[in-house]
Structure 1
Amino acid sequence: MGSLLTLTLKSLKKRLTDQPSIQIQQDLGYVTEVRFLFNAPAPESELLKFEETNQLFLPKDYKEFLLMHNGARLFIDEKSGASFDVLRISEVQENHQSLDYPEGWYPIAYGLESSVLVMNLNEITPHKRSNEYLFWLEPGESIEHATPLYMNFEIFLERLIISQGVEYWNWPIYKARHFYKANDLED
């Protein structure tokens, strides 16, 4: 059996072999066709250079993804123009520097409405899969207000695919009494 990351990507790609897109259902009955684009692998030398330059270790699962695909565009919805974009390692470095993130904090993906998936590498255990280093940052928020997701990249990606691209980490905050109001639905 392979890693969770390998199993997740293998299953998704199997669904895409006969067709360039798949139909999904998201929140509030929205049904659409989405596509996925995966970049070529990152050279290991580029990842080592990133680690040396920043004096840190990339998490094992995230590094595994980059060695398979140096970035990707997921859930590309032509109707709405939305997608979930995992950055190339060079873009991670560029965004870290240009957006003035604190030391050890790196943006690794952009979601809906310019939200950012951020990793905090300050307290990870190198070469261990179970690190919980991901945070979600809403547009305009400072890093101090980033929401901890309590997971690593491979768990995040598996759940994103299972939930069909929906921001599943926000589901617990919508209790029944708040859900209808937040979505302009009748109670």
Structure 2
Amino acid sequence: MSKIKITIEALKSRLDSNGLLEVQQEEGYVDKMKVVFNPPATKEELQKLTFAVPKDYEEFLRLHNGGLLITHPEYGGGFELFTVDEVLEHRAIPGYDYPDNWFPIAYGYDGCYLIVTDKMVGNGYLYVMDTGYNFEDNMFIGMTFEDWLEKIIIAQGTKFWEWGFIIP
């Protein structure tokens, strides 16, 4: 079984009957958070993507065409993993000229976008871009989608990439 599948199945097994997960975050905050995975993307939907989709991200889309990760049921937050159509919608927002090989695949934390590229650099291809679409202030996080997904679940939805260490 693939890392994506193992990670998702392990997370699903920890959800209660309402799709909620008890998590502890910074400063001792404990609450039940919502996790939702959409149905799989169709072959037709996947063909709409205009870039070379990394294999692990494509596998995620084949399993779940987006979803919500560790979101408070009342207050929101967490990460919204985009559907194929939402990736294309966010990529086409007028006035935001993403570099050619950048595609926003998730949104969270009041304006933080997770960006997938079609070029592997070291051990990964993901960037995090904060509010404002400032391509100069993006952060390369040096990992693949499957590694990011596993780590954000282990970190219970927190911005683990800002914990003050460099990920190789």
- TM beyond 0.5: yes
Percentage identity across aligned positions?
37
Aligned residue number for residue 179 of structure 1: none
Q: Which 5+ residue runs of structure 2 have no aligned equivalent?
A: none
Aligned residue number for residue 53 of structure 2: 58
Tell me the TM-score normalized by structure 2: 0.89
Q: Which has the higher helix share?
A: 1
Paired with 1:92 and 1:167, the residues of 2 have a C-alpha distance of: 21
Aligned residue number for residue 71 of structure 1: 66
Query: Does residue 84 of structure 1 match 2:79?
Result: yes
Paired with 2:32 and 2:114, the residues of 1 have a C-alpha distance of: 24
Displacement, 1:79?
A: 4.6
List structure 1 segments (4+ residues) > 6 angstroms apart after TM superposition.
Answer: none
Q: Deviations over 1:66-94 (max 9, x none)?
A: 01110001112135322310001111111
Taking the TM superposition and a 5 Å limit, the aligned residue runs for 1:74-113 are 74-98=69-93, 99-113=96-110
Aligned residue number for residue 11 of structure 2: 12
Q: Deviations over 1:90-109 (max 9, x none)?
A: 11111111132121101110
Aligned residue number for residue 171 of structure 1: 163
Displacement, 1:131?
A: 5.6
Distance verdict in 2 for CA 1:24–1:17, change over 3 Å: closer
Q: Is the 8 A contact 2:112 2:128 kept in 1?
A: yes
Q: Is the 8 A contact 1:73 1:84 kept in 2?
A: yes
Tell me the TM-score normalized by structure 1: 0.81
Paired with 1:105 and 1:131, the residues of 2 have a C-alpha distance of: 17
| Matched residue count | 163
Q: Tell me, what secondary structure is at the counterpart of 1:32?
A: strand
